[in-house]
Chain A
């Protein structure tokens, strides 16, 4: 260890520096951003030489904090150490050695993170420009797993736009085959797919749009027996089911497994959408505690539905999914958004967690399996 009387700081070898860092010295990297990006000491803070004097207090408000400075070979860190000593820092050390020695001595090192491949950087360039997304956000999307319950009217727009946006894994739950009367709104499918399973047709379309998307096909109908298996591997669930039984079954399992559900429903010219985030906001049972009779809730096949309506609602669902994955913006948790296509108007009402809710209310311990399914009419 060098103890030059003329220097108010110490200079150390790489091996000594590694030991000091392990002893709790705060490590300051005075190189430039581009050098840092090619790999850096784990736990270090980047304060480039031109900024270190102004910004050192961010890292060490207390001037007695033991500091270990380094750069590429020890020149810049020696200068910076001198400045910090002049500022009154009492325990400043500079590593006088090439940074490669740090690695050879087994010092903690963080390799550069390759967030996106060059092809991904090109493909998602317009999206990574958005400050709330960037390459890190795009990486989150690529790592995300989203399950679409239904590859039909509401599932179609979500499947198309989520795969285009780079959501890495999309699961499709649907046991139906493509029929002619689907095509007016289920744009995931086409005339050349009539009779094909919707999960197979959906996979073809998605892969054509984005070959990188992993499509997981679940050619089954969601029920109380398979719901937990189906949803457990996913980060976000998009609910585009067509009946109340399924919605309650999905709700109860999602609350139990803490899975956010983006809910959409459509009827003729009207659509509704909200986001259920278990225990952070209300769930489906808080909003609709009791299953309505059939005459209040006819299915699309009986009542009809405008073709573009699931497009509008499905897009809003996709938007919710992206925000949930990115952790950005405000979701519809606690708000029900209603779209009236006839009047081209939106209404919004607040929905609250019901303390008496059998799925997520008081007495239902968060994160604890409730045992018997509470689904009504299941």
Chain B
């Protein structure tokens, strides 16, 4: 089972969980399993079936944009990191 790390802004959709265990051999399959477990995440992570432009996806420390995108292969020990930009600073 692979692990998906849920960024803080999306944790309201996972009941507060910071990580979710998923099955799948590609990032797409892993995300499908994530959305099956937490349906509300689908609309926040994808736009019309594509990965949202606002969220970077990493397998371990590698951005899937520079690998095979959603078809990037994953193994059981891999961690998928979802990373939207954070703006917070000084106010």
Binding site for B on A (CB under 8 A): 149-155, 174, 176, 186, 239-244, 247, 264-270, 272, 287-293, 295-301, 303, 305, 336, 338, 340, 342-343, 347-352
Q: Check B21 for interface membership: any CB of A closer than 8 A.
A: no
Closest to A247 in B: B87
In the docked arrangement, what's the CA distance between A305 and B91, Å? 10
**Total number of residue pairs linking A and B with CB closer than 8 Å:** 114
* Residue interface bits B72-91, CB-to-A below 8 A is 1, else 0: 00000000010111111111
Interface members, chain B 41-89 (any A CB < 8 Å): 44, 53-56, 58, 61-63, 66, 81, 83-89
Closest to A152 in B: B90
Q: Check B37 for interface membership: any CB of A closer than 8 A.
A: no
In the docked arrangement, what's the CA distance between A154 and B55, Å? 24
- A296-B54, A340-B18, A347-B81 known; A270 vs B91 contact (CB < 8 Å): no
* A288→B56 contact, CB < 8 A: yes
Q: Report 14 cross-chain contacts, Cβ distance below 8 Å, ordered by A residue.
A: A150-B89, A152-B91, A153-B89, A243-B89, A265-B87, A266-B86, A267-B9, A267-B86, A268-B8, A269-B8, A270-B86, A338-B83, A343-B18, A350-B62
Interface size class of B (residues with CB under 8 A): 20 to 34
In the docked arrangement, what's the CA distance between A296 and B55, Å? 9
Q: Given B8, B9, B66, B89, which contacts A241 in the complex, CB threshold below 8 Å? A: B89
Residues of chain B lying within 8 A (CB to CB) of residue A347: 5, 81
Q: Check B24 for interface membership: any CB of A closer than 8 A.
A: no
Residues of chain A lying within 8 A (CB to CB) of residue B63: 349-352
Distance in Å: Cβ of B66 to nearest Cβ of chain A: 6
Closest to B44 in A: A296
Residues of chain A lying within 8 A (CB to CB) of residue B61: 348-350
In the docked arrangement, what's the CA distance between A287 and B55, Å? 10
